[in-house]
Amino acid sequence: MENSGNDDGEETRNHTISSISSVASSDGYRLFGRQGSLRQFLGGGKAADILLWKRRSVSFGIIVIATVAWLIIEKSGLSLLLICLDILLILIVVLFIHANYAAYRNRQIETFPELELSEEMISTVAASFRVKINNVLLLAHDITIGQDFHLFFKVVICLWLLSAIGSYCSFFTLAYVGTVLSVTLPAFYGKYEQHVDKYCGMMHRKFSQHYRIVDESVMRRIPLFMQR
């Protein structure tokens, strides 16, 4: 039984490596293996338009707001809790003055909007959230018990890289950099798509060659060594 499991795992690894090599060797390599347009890959709609700078005012506004928020949080020396409390205090005072001014001028005070959610919407969101949580738990289970050593190795490398990056910058700086890159990189890629796909395809082929060597010489032997 153990040998059949090892054979199945080896066949799966060979299929994965061959698929990676076939994609990398093709002339029509496209980043992230997407089939449709970049706008379709980003989900379409307003979000894709913002990321691709089709709505320049909104995209530029996101960068400006993120920059101001980062400067306030990182350079002012104030804690996030204190900043949130100050903003909430200012908002309450402004709304109080506005309501009393409207009453003084005999104007009708705007009613507060109510949040309305249907049972069908709540059930759909809860079911989708449950499926995603179960998939994450199943993935974590496979990683911890060692069924997929390749995935375990990738997760460890990613966590180590995040830990190394986190030692040099704070969470808010990392979030700010991620926000700016998420707004600027898709537009840059959309403008120079062919050139980026060309050089990424070259790097992908090199990576596939090195990955095959490491997989054959090291990673395949580790699960056999751990079973002894």
Query: pLDDT at position 186, please?
Result: 86
pTM listed for this prediction: 0.55
User: What does the block give as tokens for 40?
Assistant: 């379709």
Q: Is the dihedral of CA 17, 18, 21, 22 positive or negative?
A: negative
Burial of 196 per CB tally in 10 Å (0-12, 13-18, 19+): middle
pLDDT score, position 112: 67
- Give me the amino acid identity at 30: R
CA 109 → CA 90, 106, 160, distances in Å?
19, 9, 54
Please return the burial class of 7, using the count of CB atoms within 10 Å of its CB with bins 0-12, 13-18 and 19+. exposed
Please, what is the Cα angle at 132 between 127 and 138, to 5 degrees? 125
Per-residue model confidence as pLDDT tens for the chain (228 residues): 444 444 454 554 454 444 444 444 445 677 766 777 777 777 777 888 888 888 888 889 999 998 988 888 877 777 778 888 888 999 999 988 888 887 777 777 667 677 777 888 888 888 888 888 988 888 777 777 766 667 777 788 888 888 888 788 777 888 888 889 988 888 888 888 888 878 888 887 887 777 777 666 665 555 555 555
CA nearest to 220, candidates 171, 157, 149: 149
Could you tell me the maximum CA-CA distance found in the chain, to the nearest angstrom? 85
pLDDT of residue 164: 83
- Output the pLDDT for position 26: 43
